[in-house]
Structures are given as C-alpha cells and as structure tokens.
Amino acid sequence: MEISPQQPRVRRRPYITLGLFLFAATAFSMAQFGLWEYMDIAFHQRTAVGKLLTVDCRNNNAITYSFAVNGTTHQGSASWPDCRNLTTSDPLQISYSSLDPNHNVPGDAYARFISETISILIASVLSSFLVVYVLMRRKSPFPGR
C-alpha cells in the first residue's frame, strides 16, 4: 500500500482580498478616463440641438460641434463611432450638465455612462480574476514535481 503525501491546502482569503483590491484599483483607475464626467452629465442631463462644425473620420472619428444654452454658445469635441454618415451643419443631440454646460457629450449621456460603467466592471473583474488565477496556479504544487 502506497501512501501519498497530502497536498497542502491553499488558503483562499489572501487571494480573495487581493482580487477585491485589484478589482477596486482597476475600476477606480479606469474611471479616471471619462466616467466621472459622464456621471456628472447623466445625473444633471439637459439636451440641446447642436450643429456639427467639423468631421474628421481619419483622425479617430473626431467631430467638433457647437450648441447654445441660454444664449451662450458652447463648443465641444468627441469621437463619434459612425462619422462617415455625418456632414458638417448636420443637427446633433448634445447632452450637457445643467451645472456646467462645458461638460457635454454628443448623444445620450446616460447611455454613455451605463456603457462605460459596464465596460469598466467587466474589465476589472476579468483582469483581477486572471491575476489571482495565475498566482494561485503558481502556488499550487504540480503533480510529479
């Protein structure tokens, strides 16, 4: 009768803690690239009809636009996914923050906020899971070694 040594039990608490920390750190750092502004606009959203000033599909689908709020003209720029269908002077819905119209985006700010939030959550979960999985696999002994 052959006696096999028992495999050491992997402690999961440090890995869970690391995973939660990585999730929070990744989500917070990714949110710095626009989520807070989308949230501000979405929570205080007002809309105006804007006018396209320039369309440059070769430069990251860049568009510039202007719109008026209470007699004051504001300008903005953004990346538009389907810029080939746009021409200058086309009307465009602009969402802006009622607190500061200089915070604005073309289209629906609430939809952009939800989309950005979901993307950040998915990326944060997947990246933290991958790091923890790799670390757990490295710590666990391989059979025959």
Q: What angle do CA 40, 43, 25 make, to 5 degrees?
A: 55
**Distance spanning both ends of the chain, measured CA to CA:** 21
Q: How confident is the model at residue 143 (pLDDT cuts 50, 70, 90)?
A: low
Residue 139: which of 11, 53, 5, 32 has the closest Cα? 11
pLDDT of residue 42: 93
The domain segmentation of the chain, as residue ranges, is 19-139
Of all residues in the chain, what percent carry a pLDDT higher than 70? 88
Question: Looking at the whole model, is its pTM more than 0.85?
Answer: no
CB atoms within 10 A of CB 96: 24
pLDDT of residue 6: 61
Phi, psi dihedral angles at 93 (to 5 degrees): -70, 130
Please, how many CA atoms are within 13 Å of residue 57, restricted to the half-sphere of its CB? 8
Using one digit for the tens of pLDDT, what is the confidence trace for 19-66? 889 889 988 888 888 888 889 999 999 999 999 999 998 888 999 999
